[in-house]
Amino acid sequence: MKDELVKSDLKPPFRADHVGSLLRPKPIAEARKAGVTGDALKEIEDREIPAMIKMQEEVGLKVVTDGEARRAFWHFDYMGMLNGLDLEQRDPEAGIAFHGVKTAPTVSTITQKLKFPADHPMLEHFKFVKEHTGVCPKISIPGPSAAHFRTAPEDIFVEEYKDPEAFTAALADCWKEAVDAFYAAGCRYLQLDDIFFAYLGDPKHRAIWAERGQDPDWLIDRYAWMLNEAIKDRPADMTIGMHMCRGNFKSTHAAEGSYEAAADAIFNKADVDVYFMEYDTDRAGGLEPLRLLPKGNKRIMAGFITTKTPELEPIDEIKRKFEDASKFVDMDQLGIAPQCGFSSTEEGNNLTMDDQRRKLELVIKVAEEIWDDA
């Protein structure tokens, strides 16, 4: 960071935050579309990302990311950089189904024993942000559930990992190595995007796993165990955030359903500090699951502001939602963030750069009006 003496108000958790991904600047998007790779692409990214960081600082955020601008996908890029996990491009029908559209046909395969490599590129991605900001740098990586959820049993080629308990234990170990490595790189605010807890509240996705012979409720508890194993030994000065949503690709979604099935597991079986929870539509169900958050220092960043459409939510409407939420959880344990990233994949949602900025400005304004603190 520009100033190594971090002010107390620049330490997480914050009242105003965001999930992490941002719309890709035009030079990066065009370079990728043209097939630019390697050092030539990195040069463009290194030139554009400081402006993305500056924009976040200008709107008043005390925490910034690189917008995930070096990634094509929020999770596949990270996963494909692990030892033992390979990505394959298959028939277009293998793409991930969203509401009315499919992603590129990327498939996760497990070919060797899993390990987090000491030279994982995202360590340098974080360091770049840290060197270019005067506020708190954050990086978001997929949670360990992503590698399990996105790997079909038939694509596991390590015999030991064909046992779900052994596979999930290996994932927990691999992510623990990641947590340790990011801390050593100077990261004090690490966010794990563990969106599949929310997916497992959707009857459709629950049925898919049941057909594969895995109880979705067992998976929820096992995902919480994996997450906790990965983070439980982190140093006291490292804050762990966790994001949950129901899919985000070109302003569409892939799941729907309440948090009720997962609430006890995420709140009480994982030592997470900050929860980013999608709540911009009825797809997320009601606020009742928030009652299971234990009293104390854990904080829920309520996603009442959407990143899927450009229209700004009325502040009075957002305040009413916080009043409703306060019936289940103390207002002091709440904060505000958009419901998801603006560009979970490189394609981005259906907003402009100006729309994105106005959404972030709204986050700050809400935090200032409700808590007198952004």
Residue 136 has a pLDDT of 97
User: Sorting pLDDT into bands at 50, 70 and 90, what band is 255?
Assistant: low
**Residues 6 or more apart from 33 whose CB is under 8 A from it?**
none
Q: Would you list the domain boundaries of the chain?
A: 17-371
Q: What percent of the chain has pLDDT over 90?
A: 79
Residue 205 has a pLDDT of 87
**Residues 6 or more apart from 130 whose CB is under 8 A from it?**
1, 137, 186, 187
User: Sorting pLDDT into bands at 50, 70 and 90, what band is 183?
Assistant: very high
pLDDT (average), residues 330-342: 96
Residue 254 has a pLDDT of 61
Cα radius of gyration (the chain) = 19
pLDDT digits (tens, 9 = 90+) for 13-69: 999 999 999 999 999 999 999 999 999 999 999 999 999 999 999 999 999 999 999
Domain 17-371 is found in CATH 3.10.20.30: no
Residue 4 has a pLDDT of 46
The gap from C-alpha 254 to its chain's centroid, in whole angstroms, comes to 15
- What's the burial of 111, exposed, middle or buried (CB within 10 Å: 0-12/13-18/19+)? middle
pLDDT digits (tens, 9 = 90+) for 147-176: 999 999 999 999 999 999 999 999 999 999
Do residues 19 and 337 make contact, with C-beta atoms less than 8 angstroms apart?
Answer: yes
Percentage helix, strand, coil, to 5, in the chain? 45, 15, 40
Do residues 329 and 290 make contact, with C-beta atoms less than 8 angstroms apart?
Answer: yes
Length of the chain (residues): 374
Exposure string over 294-326, b if 16+ CB within 10 A, otherwise e = eeeebbbbbbbbbbbebeebeeeebeebbeebe
Q: What are phi and psi of 147, to 5 degrees?
A: -70, -35
For residue 350, what are its two tokens? 């259906």
For residue 321, what are its two tokens? 């939602």
- Nearest-angstrom CA–CA distance, 153 and 306: 34
Residue 250 has a pLDDT of 53
